[in-house]
């Protein structure tokens, strides 16, 4: 799967720029969740504002599979009128 | 000195100072502009004729030292929608008006000599109409510069550019920022054209110091002010995200949500989104010497505004907001932030609303006038608005008008007003607000309700519940309340999550007015004011058929979610009648 990182999470990708996509290719095991991917990337739950899995506003409990697109935004990018977004849970 | 209303008659050039009635005393901002419009304007009048009135009102709290409370509401019958309109802006003018004791300015009539413009000059105990002279025909950058030269640095300026002078229905009303940039716009709904129709080029406000703002219960006010400030300074959005990245942080977020309208609302994702994002603006502030964390008026603790510089480090524009970056960028498939910032600068100079201008360029591109993605030609065509060429006049009259002129059927408007930067097919709840707002498609009409705090909805997906009609109404009632206070709507991010901050806001209102409003009153008053606006619109000829999204959204699937808009008409009708 591909993980798109924004804000300070970009620093996890060497040579990143703010203008271009900042992506990591991550292998997924069985029973992998967004939370376990975050753990592998050393992203703490408290550092995260918004998560989108395949463009759906998601909780960390959702399962992920090969081919998924995951985007993670840090707390300092927390702006969103989130009450308008359906939140997908597992 | 108590508060007063200034009535400015442009037919005989008279200015009267009027007492504030008890009915109007407890109103401010949008509640006051809409009440005056409903009381005094015939809903069927021509918006650019002598019977429309243009009302300026600072909010209830404006002029005090409460945080982020310097908003100015501007109201009238809209020449863009044909309904009631309120648009508000920050900048210097609102606090100065309030500190002069001005509760509202009502501008009526029309000048006897067409094409002649005036400046209303205000200072302590004086209000004078002067001929605009050399300001006539000038863009807002030059206007503001000339005004500071003549009246002194630091004066507040409310003005219109050439678009407003030429009565174009996408003309906005500019307020100057602390550096005298014209970028704080009460942009939506063509209120700049109404100001132009009154022959008013600018209002200049000379005022310094804390002024004479009356606070009925200073102790309660102070408590509330502290609670709210604490909330704003502790919440992740108002203390971190907005000062760091500004609202343009949303470009990447909405793109990931598949809800960033792209290529005239034909996709929810833009490949070039990253290049026009708040993250780049933040980076440029470091490399080009612009600014983030910029307050649009003294006393804003959120400071979401920014200054975007040219590659050589010289000033280009302030601010580039999310809505503008999206409208002039993604919606036109323009991924060069310098071009987007230049388009924004032209809007500020000519006097146009950036959302309407971006949507207009989108339909013009779809109509083949210029290609999608061509920033340089978009700059050329937008400049024509200021010159008043035939194409410029078409573009200056907004999205629906331009779509008709060029035979485009994908027209992203509600009640004649262009949609902001949240695609309703991806973010369905906001579509309910776009459809049912009294203002036409307007994102600021309703996103502020504290679902948990007000015990409405409160579920993971509130808009998928049976109460979504009621919830959408609650969004709108709480928003109109904040618009009445003069607080910036962005306080809602903190107020949404922190009960103490919400109580703080209410305490400041009660402190200023000497009232005992509760949170229930917020809903009740908001409801009453919305009803007033809806009654005006009904009398102006609107029916429930106008509370709908554009037809193409019901049959064209939007990638990447591949959804159509499927919220039922019954639900939309239940928002205000449920
Ligand atoms: S938060 Fe932004 S728009 Fe609101 S008052 Fe402050 S600087 Fe102005």
Per-residue pLDDT tens over the stretch B292-341: 999 999 999 999 999 999 999 999 999 999 999 999 999 999 999 999 99
ipTM: 0.94
Residue B76 has pLDDT above 60, yes or no: yes
Q: Distance (Å, rounded) from C-alpha B112 to C-alpha B560?
A: 55
* Of B104, B71, B89, B109, the residue nearest B195 (C-alpha): B109
Residue A90 lies in a domain: no
Task: Provide the β-strand partners of residue B123.
Answer: B126
Banded pLDDT at B450 (limits 50, 70, 90): very low
Close Cβ partners of B102 (under 8 Å, ≥ 6 residues apart): B3, B4, B5, B6, B58, B122
Q: Distance (Å, rounded) from C-alpha B15 to C-alpha B230?
A: 42
Residue A75 lies in a domain: yes
Assess whether the C-beta atom of B300 lies below 6 angstroms from ligand 1: yes
Rg (CA), chain A: 12
Q: Distance (Å, rounded) from C-alpha B388 to C-alpha B162?
A: 8
Q: Output the pLDDT for position B118.
A: 98
Q: Output the pLDDT for position B456.
A: 29
pTM of the entire predicted model: 0.95
Of A4, A52, A79, the CB nearest to B242: A79
User: Chain A residue closest to B268 (CA)?
Assistant: A55
CB–CB of B232/B491 below 8 Å?
A: yes
Write out pLDDT tens, residues B518-536: 988 988 999 999 999 999 9
Residue B1 has pLDDT above 80, yes or no: no
Number of other residues whose CB lies within 10 A of the CB of residue B1: 10
Write out pLDDT tens, residues B167-226: 999 999 999 999 999 999 999 999 999 999 999 999 999 999 988 799 999 999 999 999
The token duo for B413 is 């408007």
Q: Output the pLDDT for position B103.
A: 98
Q: Distance (Å, rounded) from C-alpha B310 to C-alpha B341?
A: 9
- Give which of B235, B237, B246, B253 to mutate to test A binding, by max A Cβ within 10 Å: B253
Q: Output the pLDDT for position B466.
A: 46
Q: How far is CA A2 from CA A39, A43, B212, B385, in A?
A: 15, 16, 59, 44
Side-chain-side CA neighbours of residue B512 (13 Å): 27
Structurally, at CATH architecture level, domain B4-205 sits in 4-Layer Sandwich (3.60)
Mean pLDDT of chain A, nearest integer: 90
DSSP assignment letter at B421:
S
Instruction: Please state which of the ranges A30-44, A63-77, B249-263, B453-467 shows the lowest mean pLDDT.
Output: B453-467
Number of other residues whose CB lies within 10 A of the CB of residue B390: 9
Q: Distance (Å, rounded) from C-alpha B468 to C-alpha B462?
A: 7
How many contiguous H segments (helices) and E segments (strands) does chain B have? 23, 17
Residue B439 has pLDDT above 50, yes or no: yes
Question: Between residues B340 and B575, which one has the greater pLDDT?
Answer: B340
Q: Is the peptide bond before B319 cis (omega within 30 degrees of 0)?
A: yes
Mean pLDDT of chain B, nearest integer: 93
Residue B409 has pLDDT above 90, yes or no: yes
Banded pLDDT at B492 (limits 50, 70, 90): confident
Q: Output the pLDDT for position B331.
A: 98
Residue B563 has pLDDT above 50, yes or no: yes
Of A19, A73, A84, the CB nearest to B274: A19
Side-chain-side CA neighbours of residue B544 (13 Å): 10
Residue A61 lies in a domain: yes
Atom of ligand 1 nearest to the CA of B491: 1
Task: State which H helix or E strand residue B235 sits in.
Answer: none
Number of domains in chain A: 1
Nearest CA to ligand 1 atom 4: B488
Close Cβ partners of B176 (under 8 Å, ≥ 6 residues apart): B91, B92, B93, B144, B156, B157, B159, B182, B184
CB–CB of B107/B125 below 8 Å?
A: no
CB–CB of B421/A83 below 8 Å?
A: no
* Percentage of chain B lying above the pLDDT 70 cut: 95
Q: Kindly report the nearest CA distance between residue A38 and chain B, in angstroms.
A: 17
Question: Between residues B6 and B125, which one has the greater pLDDT?
Answer: B6
CB–CB of B169/B190 below 8 Å?
A: yes
For the residues of B337-391, what is the DSSP string, one character each?
A: HHHHHHHHHHHHHHTB-HHHHHHHHHHHHHTTSS-TT-HHHHHHHHHHHHHT-HH
Could you list the residue range(s) of the whole structural domain that residue A11 is in?
2-84
The strands making up B315-317's β-sheet, listed across from edge to edge, are: B291-294, B305-309, B315-317
Mean pLDDT along residues B373-388: 98
Instruction: Please state which of the ranges A70-84, B235-249, B472-486 shows the lowest mean pLDDT.
Output: A70-84
Banded pLDDT at A82 (limits 50, 70, 90): low
Residue A40 lies in a domain: yes
Residue A89 lies in a domain: no
CB contact under 8 A, A49 and B241: yes
Q: Output the pLDDT for position A85.
A: 64
Q: Output the pLDDT for position B465.
A: 43
Residue A44 lies in a domain: yes
Task: Provide the β-strand partners of residue B517.
Answer: none
Residue A43 lies in a domain: yes
Write out pLDDT tens, residues B104-152: 999 999 999 988 999 999 999 999 999 999 999 999 999 999 999 999 9
Question: Between residues B236 and B343, which one has the greater pLDDT?
Answer: B343
CATH assignment at residue A54: 3.10.20.30
Q: Distance (Å, rounded) from C-alpha B350 to C-alpha B146?
A: 16
Neighboring chain B residues of A60 at a CB cutoff of 8 Å: none
User: Chain A residue closest to B560 (CA)?
Assistant: A55
Environment class of residue B499 by beta-carbon count within 10 Å: exposed (0-12), middle (13-18) or buried (19+)?
Answer: middle
Q: How far is CA B570 from CA B270, B432, B456, B474, B544, in A?
A: 33, 11, 20, 18, 10
Q: Distance (Å, rounded) from C-alpha B120 to C-alpha B100?
A: 14
Banded pLDDT at A81 (limits 50, 70, 90): low
CB contact under 8 A, B279 and A76: no
Instruction: Please state which of the ranges B4-8, B81-85, B257-261, B458-462 shows the lowest mean pLDDT.
Output: B458-462
Q: Output the pLDDT for position B574.
A: 86
CB–CB of B8/B120 below 8 Å?
A: yes
B483-542 residues touching A, CB cutoff 8 A: 493, 496
CB–CB of A5/A23 below 8 Å?
A: yes
CB contact under 8 A, A19 and B451: no
Mean pLDDT along residues A59-88: 84
For the residues of B103-116, what is the DSSP string, one character each?
A: EEEEEES--SSTT-
The token duo for B69 is 């409370």
Mean pLDDT along residues B437-441: 90
Residue B495 has pLDDT above 90, yes or no: no
Mean pLDDT along residues B250-254: 92
Close Cβ partners of B314 (under 8 Å, ≥ 6 residues apart): none
What are all long-range contacts of B220-223, with beta carbons under 8 Å and residues at least 24 apart? B220/B507, B220/B510, B220/B511, B221/B64, B221/B66, B221/B507, B221/B508, B221/B511, B221/B512, B222/B511, B223/B504, B223/B507, B223/B511
Q: Output the pLDDT for position B178.
A: 96
Write out pLDDT tens, residues B34-75: 999 999 999 999 999 999 999 999 999 999 999 999 999 999
* Of B306, B383, B293, the residue nearest B337 (C-alpha): B306
């Amino acid at each position: 799967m591909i993980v798109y990182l924004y804000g300070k999470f970009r620093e996890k990708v060497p040579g990143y720029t703010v203008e271009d996509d900042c992506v990591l290719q991550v292998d997924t095991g069985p029973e992998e969740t967004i939370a376990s991917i975050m753990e592998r990337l050393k992203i703490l739950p408290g550092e995260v504002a918004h998560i989108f899995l395949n463009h759906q506003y998601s909780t960390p409990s959702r399962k992920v599979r090969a081919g998924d697109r995951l985007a993670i935004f840090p707390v300092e990018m927390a702006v969103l009128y989130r009450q308008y977004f359906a939140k997908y849970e597992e | 000195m108590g508060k007063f209303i200034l009535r400015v008659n442009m037919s005989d050039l008279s200015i009267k100072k009027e007492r504030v009635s008890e009915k109007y005393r407890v109103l401010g901002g949008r509640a006051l502009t809409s009440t005056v419009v409903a009381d005094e304007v015939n809903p069927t009048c021509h918006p650019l004729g002598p019977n429309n009135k243009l009302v300026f009102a600072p909010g209830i709290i404006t002029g005090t030292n409460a945080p982020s409370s310097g908003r100015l509401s501007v109201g009238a019958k809209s020449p863009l929608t044909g309904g009631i309109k309120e648009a508000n802006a920050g900048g210097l003018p609102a606090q100065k008006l309030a500190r002069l004791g001005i509760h509202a300015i009502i501008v009526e009539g029309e000048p006897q000599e067409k094409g002649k413009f005036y400046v209303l000059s205000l200072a302590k105990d004086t209000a004078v109409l002067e001929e605009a002279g050399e300001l006539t025909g000038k863009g807002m950058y030059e206007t503001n510069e000339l005004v500071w030269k003549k009246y002194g640095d630091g004066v507040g300026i409310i003005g219109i550019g050439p678009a407003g002078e030429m009565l174009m229905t996408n003309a906005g009303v500019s307020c100057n920022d602390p550096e005298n940039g014209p970028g704080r716009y009460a942009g939506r709904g063509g209120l700049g054209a109404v100001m132009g129709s009154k022959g008013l080029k600018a209002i200049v406000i000379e005022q310094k110091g804390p002024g004479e703002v009356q606070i009925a219960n200073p102790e309660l006010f102070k408590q509330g002010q502290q609670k709210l400030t604490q909330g704003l300074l502790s919440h992740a959005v108002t203390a971190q995200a907005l000062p760091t990245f500004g609202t343009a942080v949303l470009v990447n977020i909405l793109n990931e949500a598949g809800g960033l309208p792209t290529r005239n609302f034909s996709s929810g994702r833009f490949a070039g989104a990253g290049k026009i994002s708040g993250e780049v603006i933040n980076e440029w502030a470091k490399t080009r010497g612009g600014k983030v964390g910029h307050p649009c008026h003294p006393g804003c603790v959120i400071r979401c505004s920014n200054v975007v510089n040219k590659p050589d480090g010289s000033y280009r524009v302030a601010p580039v907001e999310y809505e503008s970056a999206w409208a002039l960028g993604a919606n036109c498939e323009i991924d060069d932030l310098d071009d987007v910032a230049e388009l924004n600068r032209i809007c500020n100079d000519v006097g146009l609303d950036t959302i309407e201008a971006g949507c207009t360029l989108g339909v013009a591109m779809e109509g083949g006038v210029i290609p999608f993605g061509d920033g340089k030609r978009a700059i050329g065509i937008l400049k024509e608005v200021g010159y008043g060429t035939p194409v410029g006049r078409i573009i200056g009259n907004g999205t629906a008008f331009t779509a008709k002129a060029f035979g485009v059927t994908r027209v992203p408007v509600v009640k004649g007003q262009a949609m902001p930067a949240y695609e309703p097919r991806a973010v369905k709840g906001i579509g309910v607000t776009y459809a049912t707002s009294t203002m036409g498609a307007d994102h600021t009409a309703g996103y502020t309700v504290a679902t948990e705090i007000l015990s409405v909805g409160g579920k993971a997906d509130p808009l998928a519940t049976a109460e979504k009609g009621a919830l959408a109404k609650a969004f709108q009632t709480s928003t109109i309340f904040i618009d009445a206070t003069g607080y910036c709507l962005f306080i809602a991010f903190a107020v949404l999550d922190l009960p103490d901050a919400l109580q703080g806001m209410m305490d400041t209102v009660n402190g200023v007015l000497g009232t005992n409003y509760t949170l229930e009153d917020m809903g009740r008053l908001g409801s009453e004011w919305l009803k007033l606006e809806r009654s005006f619109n009904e009398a102006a000829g609107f029916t429930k058929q106008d509370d709908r999204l554009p037809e193409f959204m019901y049959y064209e699937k939007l990638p990447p979610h591949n959804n159509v808009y499927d919220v039922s008409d019954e639900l939309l009708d239940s928002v205000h009648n449920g």
